[in-house]
Amino acid sequence: MLYSEKVMDHFQNPRNVGKIEDADGVGEVGNAKCGDIMKIYIKVENDIIVDVKFNTFGCGSAIASSSMATEMIKGKPVAEALDITNKAVVEALDGLPPQKVHCSVLAEEAIKAAIEDYYSRNGK
């Protein structure tokens, strides 16, 4: 099978889809080659990511990656979430086909962009 059960599950039932109106950080990234776009919103309290939502206009692997990545950083300290790598996301999904690894990179980049936005809003 090309896609793991976890990828299929997160693609078909993505967690944390949506938008946070009063987000503390927003990150939007795109991949120029495939044209897919990912937007991640974080809500932070006492340096903990208390809520996170995403919107992905992209392929199934990008949706599964953002779903998994948001689950992985929810409830974590901001500094810890910053360490998330696309490799960790791929591992948590039980793998992605090689030509789909860039979709998980998008998730890593979107999270980092949201955290950078949070830091810059707070003068860090």
Query: Which positions are annotated as active-site residues?
Result: 34, 103
**34-63 binders of ligand FES (CB under 6 A):** 34, 36, 58-59, 61-62
DSSP 8-state class, residue 124: -
As measured in angstroms, the least distance from the Cβ of 29 to ligand FES is: 10
How does 87-123 read in b/e, with b if 16+ C-beta sit within 10 Å? Answer: eebbebbeebeeebbbbbbbbbbbbbbbbebbeeeee
Secondary structure of 56-69 in HEC code, one letter for each residue: EECCHHHHHHHHHH
Contact residue for ligand FES among 106, 110, 113, 114 (CB under 6 A): 106
As measured in angstroms, the least distance from the Cβ of 69 to ligand FES is: 13
Residue numbers at the binding site for ligand FES (CB under 6 A): 31, 34, 36, 58-59, 61-62, 100, 102-103, 106
